[in-house]
Amino acid sequence: MREFSGTWMRHSGDFWGGFAAMLVALPASVAFGVTVYAAINPHYAAFGALAGILGATALGLLAPVFGGTDRLISAPCAPAAAVLSAFAIQLVGQGTTPVTIVLLMTVLGILTGLIQMLIGFVGIGGLIKYIPYPVVSGYLSGVGLIIIGSQLPKFAGAPEGTLWYQALIKPELWDLRGLAIGGVTAAAMLLSRRFVKTVPGTIIGIVAGAVTYGSLAALDPSMRVLEGNELVVGELGANGAGYIDLITNRWNDIGEMRLSQVGGLIGSAITLAALLSIDTLKTCVILDQMTRTRHEPNRELAAQGFANAVASTIGGMPGAGTMGATLVNLSSGAQTRMSGIVEGVTVAVVGLVLGAFVAWIPIAALAGVLLVVGMRMIDTDPLRFLESRSTVLDFSVVLAVVASALFIGLIAASAVGVVLSIILFLREQVGGNVVRRKSVVGQRSSTWYRPDAEMQRLEQFGDTAVIFELQGSLFFGTTHQLYLRLEPELSTTHYLILDLQRVQSVDLTAAHMLSLVRDILSERKVPLILSSVREMLPNGRNLREFLELAGLVPDGEKVLFMPSLEAAIEWVEERILGDVGKADATLPPLELHEIGLFKGSKPDTLIDLATCLEARSCKTGDVVYDVGDMDCNLYLVRSGEVRIMGRVGTDVQLHHIATYGRGEFFGGLAFLDHRPRGNSAVVSADAELYVLSMEKFDVLAEEHKRIALLLISQLARTLALRLRHSDQELTLLREN
């Protein structure tokens, strides 16, 4: 007894949540089913009500069991009703018999479920969110208009076969009873949002329509008879052997369908699967935000697909995770997937056991509900696109999708929308600039700090080496633009560097263009230098491997791959300076007067300074100082190399930011401001250093003020030159 009590306490919220969700899902499912089947023939409305109940039952029972989202309620939904209604209307217009239409819709539902399962199993459920917004907006607006057009005759109580515009302009076709019932239903739904927050508008609307029907029936005896009454849904015919015979006969007929007929449904099934998947995942995302959870899109889509396939197999309507019923479920205390199962069970009990009551639901009331649903599906946000010339073409995509949906078909609307969106995307890509920045080596520098004489030579001859920093996508749409930017340099430059750090993708057309650039440069013995050639692009492609397969194989003369732009600039600098290799490691270490900081000074003035210096030998990999060290020493490089490693932005990893070689000094900032080190110094080639500590310098400053002044003056001058050069580079980067 205690275990039962504990279980009930844990799942009582699920029970009440599922029951409340059923009150929302059942009337809507019946309405959607009637809408679809009444589009085939008004006498099929009862089959539609049954299809809605069976669909809600199957989705409610199976989707929670196999899905991964707690509290999600799945049931027949507006997108399914819209697509199937439009599908039925098209077939009716082609003269297809009602029986055949029912069979095709059953197969369409099964194919839709199988496609959703495939999407989930393959793992591309997350890609559905990349369907362009103008396509979804235009599609839903078109579907909303189709719903409105299909429901207007039913709303007005017009005879079978009345077209929507006839129902609008010919009052003599109206049945005032149906008009009154539909009008009250729609008004109740619209006003319920303002005055009632706890009860869903669908329930309020149907109750208001049913009350209106009862009031009119009190005055009209013909409305109190079920048989032959075209104002209500009618008998469901779902009891016992009748239902078994119905499904058995339907499957016998499906077995006789030709493969070509089934194949012709693939396009519609893909469209319906995409819409139902979007509807489900949109509901899951909102549910995640409200409950601070995370759903599994692929598992959920596979479960929804299985439920839709089973629902269609037993004669029900397909559906999706629905927003209204899910939010009611959540607000009623549901905690787990058990609430969805409760919803499915209660739909079966209420819908089938109390089917006699469902039979009395007024068709005009359901039409009123769907008119409101159709109006709410129309997306008015794209109208804002007309306010700016830059977004008019985006609005044209929405308009084209709506027009295609209304006058051609929903499949054509999807195709038109996707094609136009691709064209707009290509327009934006082609219009964008793939050259982020153009500069020359004379304006930029590598991570090497070089003596003044070398810097002057680089400034003099650096404009013969051109750098293009590329960005975005290099594909057939931007290839010609890039070639036009490169062409003027191909006949004059001595070095051409193309930096690919910010390139997102490269196609074969762009790779072929780069091969052409290589061939033109090679005629002048000029290499094409490609820097930052990543092994993995955002699209998953190995860029280096792709370029090599396209013919851009590094060979040391025609094509060079450099790991970074700094490395490419360093390679070019060495050739401009005429120093192909690094400094000769066999040369003896520099003496104090040979170091750049003291060049031009009289040797005898440095004798006392030399006594304050410590000679230190370092091996490759030795750390001279680290980030945060209270090291205020000044280091002079007699031979070898030292790399400075620092943090960039908030990245905790250290990056190479400078290299000091023979004759240079480093550590000057901490020597002047006595603050902790902001970077690390690591020996990259066996080095001999002179080290001047702050303590020794203070003693020197007391005894030999002239020498101390000379040192500080030279140090400040060199740091100022470095700062000026850095400032010029920052200005260049900012201007571009």
Measured CA to CA, the distance from residue 149 to residue 732 in angstroms comes to 61
pLDDT at 112: 94
The domain locations on the chain are 10-143+235-363, 435-576, 592-735
The model's pLDDT over 367-381, given as tens digits with 9 standing for 90+, comes to 787 788 778 777 777
Query: Does the pLDDT value for residue 309 go beyond 90?
Result: yes
Provide mean pLDDT across the span 525-553: 84
pLDDT at 507: 87
DSSP state of 232: B
Across all residues in the chain, what is the average pLDDT? 80
pLDDT band, residue 550 (cuts 50/70/90): confident
3-state helix, strand, coil in the chain (%, to 5): 65, 10, 25
pLDDT band, residue 581 (cuts 50/70/90): very low
pLDDT at 699: 85
Measured CA to CA, the distance from residue 241 to residue 267 in angstroms comes to 35
Nearest of 102, 46, 19 to residue 361 by alpha carbon: 46
Fold observed for domain 592-735: Jelly Rolls (2.60.120)
According to CATH, the superfamily of the domain at 435-576 is: STAS domain (3.30.750.24)
pLDDT band, residue 243 (cuts 50/70/90): low
pLDDT band, residue 580 (cuts 50/70/90): very low
Of the ranges 236-240, 337-341, 378-382, 573-577, the best mean pLDDT one: 337-341
What percent of the chain has pLDDT above 70? Answer: 82
> Beta partners for 392?
none
Query: Does the pLDDT value for residue 196 go beyond 70?
Result: no
pLDDT at 253: 67
For 53, the token pair is 């109940």
Provide mean pLDDT across the span 640-661: 79
Query: Does the pLDDT value for residue 442 go beyond 50?
Result: yes
What percent of the chain has pLDDT above 90? Answer: 14
Query: Does the pLDDT value for residue 1 go beyond 70?
Result: no
pLDDT band, residue 62 (cuts 50/70/90): very high
β-pairing, 465-474 with 495-506?
parallel
Q: Tell me which of 321-335, 481-495, 635-649, 665-679 is least confident.
A: 321-335
CB within 8 Å of 568: residues ≥ 6 apart = 467, 497, 499, 529, 531, 560, 562
pLDDT at 612: 87
pLDDT at 284: 80
pLDDT at 304: 93
pLDDT at 8: 43
Of the ranges 224-228, 241-245, 522-526, the best mean pLDDT one: 522-526
Query: Does the pLDDT value for residue 9 go beyond 60?
Result: no
pLDDT band, residue 249 (cuts 50/70/90): low
